[in-house]
Structure 1
Amino acid sequence: MSLKQASVLVIDDDTGVLTAVRLLLKTEVKEVVAEKNPENLRSILSRQNFDLIMLDMNFNSSINTGNEGLFWLNKIREFKSDAAVIMITAYGHIDLAVRSLKEGAADFVVKPWHNEVLINVLKEALAKRAKNKSPQIPSVTKDSIIGSELIGESAIMQDIFYKIEKIAPTDANILILGENGTGKDLIAKAIHQQSLRAAKPYVKVDVGALSENLFESELFGHKKGAFTDAREDRAGRFEAANTGTLFLDEIGNIALHQQAKLLSVLQNRQVTRLGSNQPVSVDIRLICATNVPLNELANENRFRRDLMYRINTVEITVPPLRKRGSDILLLAKYFGKVYSKKYMKPGPGFDAKATEKLLQYAFPGNVRELQYTMERAVIMADEPVLQAKDLIFSPIEQVPEINEPDELRLSSIEKNTILRVIEKNSGNITKAAKELGITRTALYRRLSKYDI
């Protein structure tokens, strides 16, 4: 890509700098977007992709870290932007600018700059971005990756990739099911990226985390004065996603009356902002996800059946990592390379015992736990070849570590359930047996069986 084809975002609270850059680049690039407030980064990057971002090192903002540029540099990466970031700094802060290179910036320029120097920096950053854009992971094939970190060569994942390929070009509503940490959000993003709406907005909302007061305002928007803190008109997430994709995560956790409001919007394809009587038409492709099992969602005391049919034209069930076989090693190698590069350490290999330990562990935290495990291992390991002792699994997860045959795993589940219920009832066997739905005698037999 040439500079003439590039889109550039400039973030600086100095309007003089914004004006100067805009005038300079007006004839040099395809598009220049100027922004004074870095706290608007998330919404900007959710609406549009950029090839280059120029980011000031110092802002008079509410963050007050002393090095706001580094803070927002890391946020840009959290927002999943693959733009090359060029830091803007004063001469006295060159040490911070150099540090920014270690944290992922492509380059930096010092104010005041020569225009020719700035143009060359942008060209070089764009060329470096193009060179590094494809991940260099020898063991990961082209067909095993759909989106960032969505990796798998197992039959079960290849089936999911096939489904994505088939359903992405349609406008069918998708429900993604699976345990926490399995990558439901990556699958949603992959569907959007392969859809006919790929160039349009992709808006994600964790609806399960929205409070009672924020639910309607966040999703449907509000008018100025609609409630105490409504100081200006604001579009909701439905309007923000118009013509694009709206991803509602953790939809299984919203209350029944919220489900009714959501159903009305989906049926009518219109939203009405709080404080307004004027409906606004929206055109969105809807993707939802939840960790709640489908059989629980089928209970109308928990989830409206009419809403279920509305959001579930096609469903995709993401398997837990323990069901994906050798994908565990594929992902471990991927994360190993990612964190080796991040922490400037040699790419890790795995000795036989480390490999065995990875394959035997149940990974209750799924891909998210494996990612945590590999980051910690890369940081703490003394040698480039990881050993079993370097792999420390998350202490947060409380389930057996060893993958067992199905019949043994069922025994483990029964034993752990009994232990939890007895602990919950403070050791009262009568109450525990009643909660488990068995007799005291049957419970005693199981206590003997499992040596509890």
Structure 2
Amino acid sequence: MRKKLATILVVDDQEEILFAAKMALKKHFETILTTSNPKTLYQLLAEHKPDVVLLDMNYRIGFEDGREGIHWLREISNLYPNTCVILMTAFGKIETAVEGIKIGAFDYMMKPWENTKLLDVVEKAVAESRRRQKKPIAFSGDKSYFIGTSAKIKQVYAVADKVAKTDANVLLLGENGTGKYVMAEYIHRHSLRKEQPFVHVDLGSLSDNLFESELFGYAKGAFTDAKSDTAGRFETAQGGTIFLDEIGNVPLHLQAKLLSVLQTKSVIRLGESKPRPLDVRIISATNVNIAEEVRHKNFREDLFYRINTMEITLPPLRERQSDILALAEFLLAEKSEKYNLHNLAFDSENLEWLERYPWPGNIREMENKIERAVILSDSGVISVSDLDIFDYQPEVSLDENRPISDLERQTIEKALAKHSGNISKTADELGLSRPALYRRMEKYNLGSK
């Protein structure tokens, strides 16, 4: 078996781990480097420019919170953004590893590992490193965001640019899929805290019994499975921004606990009594009418005012019609890059259907449909039928003054677009013979593919 031309660096304070990793990897990759001292990383990175770094998260006895691993992950990502970092941890808590993924780690491995799993992850990381080297380096601070040119969205981003420069708490409102996460990240990346963590918490997915331990952390022994002191999401975001998504779904009895943290700017871990000071910027989001919830006593008024120093409402996509085609092109380019597929384009004859469709799921729906179309694409052209947006039936005016011929033309146009110009399928759907369909297409000057 021929070895892949790649350099892998393994960093761990246990010699047996270094030996096991080297034995597992050396048959598959050209160069395997190991070190037990993370302080030698700078020299090794400069000399060998490894494709992949397998990085342990803990190096000193008694310090098992993974902070050292996060520190070195940041250093590698900043200095060598083409290098993929795979985090390794022997402890059953994956919260810090997941935080590392958000910061920029490629993946994480639990120790002890299965060799087949290790090889699979490293091979994927090598492929990703090669992909990064073929394109200009895009640092996190230069991440591309689609803004658009519609008046409503330009006004939203103008407000976001102003509030980003402050530490004001922000409440993001809008329907599902309108881009609240993207807006929260945009505000963070344009703030003075941009070099510090951005921590996303989906409050709607947290059960009541996990709420405090996840957000506030816990001390060793605080409950049955508390094997070690663990920081919560607020502490993880120290110095940066915490994004409290779906805050409108938090039940009243837990809202009081959240309010206490915001008021005191401190957090008390479960099992402890001493407050830990916080320096965290709060961005919250919800798709519910939270002012209405306050009026109905379902959401605390004092918490509402704490999170709502500045309120930003994101418009639904149907109110940004002039942005639809440009957004679709942006997402197509993004997904094409993700799957290493090039020269993909939308069928120009069907672009109007992108604008006609109301996009009830907003940007998230468009992103999902485009990603699916990219994955399933058999050619360089993506038709509207590939996007699967024909379930929508546009309202047809029954105005008695409207010619029947207009309705017939519209029906034939829609069926042709749905079937990408396939005459047989279009005729079947319309209940016409092929010659009859051709005559109507000639009548209305409708070309076929």
The reply to whether TM is greater than 0.5 is yes
Q: 2:384 aligns with which of 381, 388, 399?
A: 388
- Is 232-241 or 336-345 further displaced after alignment? 336-345
User: Equivalent residues in 2 for 1:215-234 (5 A)?
Assistant: 215-234=211-230
Q: 1:106 aligns with which of 130, 140, 150?
A: 130
The equivalent residue for 1:168 is 164
Contact 2:222 2:270 in 1 (8 A): yes
Contact 1:150 1:186 in 2 (8 A): no
Deviation, 1:84, is 12
Matching residue's letter, 2:313: T
Q: 2:364 aligns with which of 351, 368, 378?
A: 368
Change (3 A) 1:81 1:97: closer
Aligned-residue identity in percent? 41
- 2:273 is the alignment partner of 1:277: yes
User: Equivalent residues in 2 for 1:184-263 (5 A)?
Assistant: 184-263=180-259
Q: Please state whether the residue corresponding to 1:382 is helix, strand or coil.
A: coil
Distance 1:95 1:245 in 2: 34
Deviation, 1:248, is 0.6
* Cα deviation 1:146-195 (Å, max 9, x = unaligned): 85444322221111111111110111110001111111111111111111
Distance 1:293 1:155 in 2: 23
The equivalent residue for 1:36 is 56
Distance 2:9 2:377 in 1: 39
Change (3 A) 1:237 1:168: same
Change (3 A) 1:307 1:9: farther
Change (3 A) 1:55 1:191: closer
Contact 2:146 2:330 in 1 (8 A): no
The equivalent residue for 1:316 is 312
Change (3 A) 1:44 1:403: farther
* Cα deviation 1:242-271 (Å, max 9, x = unaligned): 221111111000000111111111111121
User: Equivalent residues in 2 for 1:275-314 (5 A)?
Assistant: 275-314=271-310
Distance 1:256 1:317 in 2: 24
Contact 1:272 1:279 in 2 (8 A): yes
Contact 1:11 1:37 in 2 (8 A): no
Distance 1:231 1:207 in 2: 24
Q: Please state whether the residue corresponding to 2:36 is helix, strand or coil.
A: helix
Contact 2:10 2:18 in 1 (8 A): no
Distance 1:158 1:146 in 2: 19
The equivalent residue for 2:40 is 23
The equivalent residue for 1:81 is 104
* Cα deviation 1:89-111 (Å, max 9, x = unaligned): x9xx9998666555x2337xxxx
Q: Please state whether the residue corresponding to 2:104 is helix, strand or coil.
A: coil
Contact 2:54 2:86 in 1 (8 A): no
User: Equivalent residues in 2 for 1:397-436 (5 A)?
Assistant: 400=392, 402=394
Distance 1:147 1:369 in 2: 22
Q: Please state whether the residue corresponding to 1:213 is helix, strand or coil.
A: helix
Contact 2:332 2:370 in 1 (8 A): yes
The equivalent residue for 1:417 is none
Tell me the matched-pair count: 347
Distance 1:190 1:376 in 2: 26
Deviation, 1:379, is 2.7
Contact 2:169 2:306 in 1 (8 A): yes
Change (3 A) 1:333 1:267: same
Change (3 A) 1:272 1:354: same
Deviation, 1:347, is 2.5
Q: Please state whether the residue corresponding to 1:79 is helix, strand or coil.
A: helix
Matching residue's letter, 1:292: V
Contact 1:84 1:105 in 2 (8 A): no
Q: 2:345 aligns with which of 338, 346, 349?
A: 349
Distance 2:156 2:10 in 1: 39
Change (3 A) 1:401 1:134: farther
Change (3 A) 1:240 1:342: closer
Matching residue's letter, 1:337: A
Distance 1:182 1:201 in 2: 23
Deviation, 1:28, is 5.7
Gaps of 5+ in 2: 1-7, 20-33, 59-64, 109-114, 398-449
Q: Please state whether the residue corresponding to 1:133 is helix, strand or coil.
A: coil
Distance 2:303 2:224 in 1: 31
- 2:354 is the alignment partner of 1:358: yes
Change (3 A) 1:383 1:363: same
Larger radius of gyration: 2
Deviation, 1:401, is 5.4
Matching residue's letter, 2:274: Q
Gaps of 5+ in 1: 1-7, 63-71, 108-124, 136-144, 406-452
Change (3 A) 1:260 1:183: same
TM-align CA RMSD: 4.3
Distance 2:291 2:138 in 1: 42
Contact 2:283 2:307 in 1 (8 A): yes
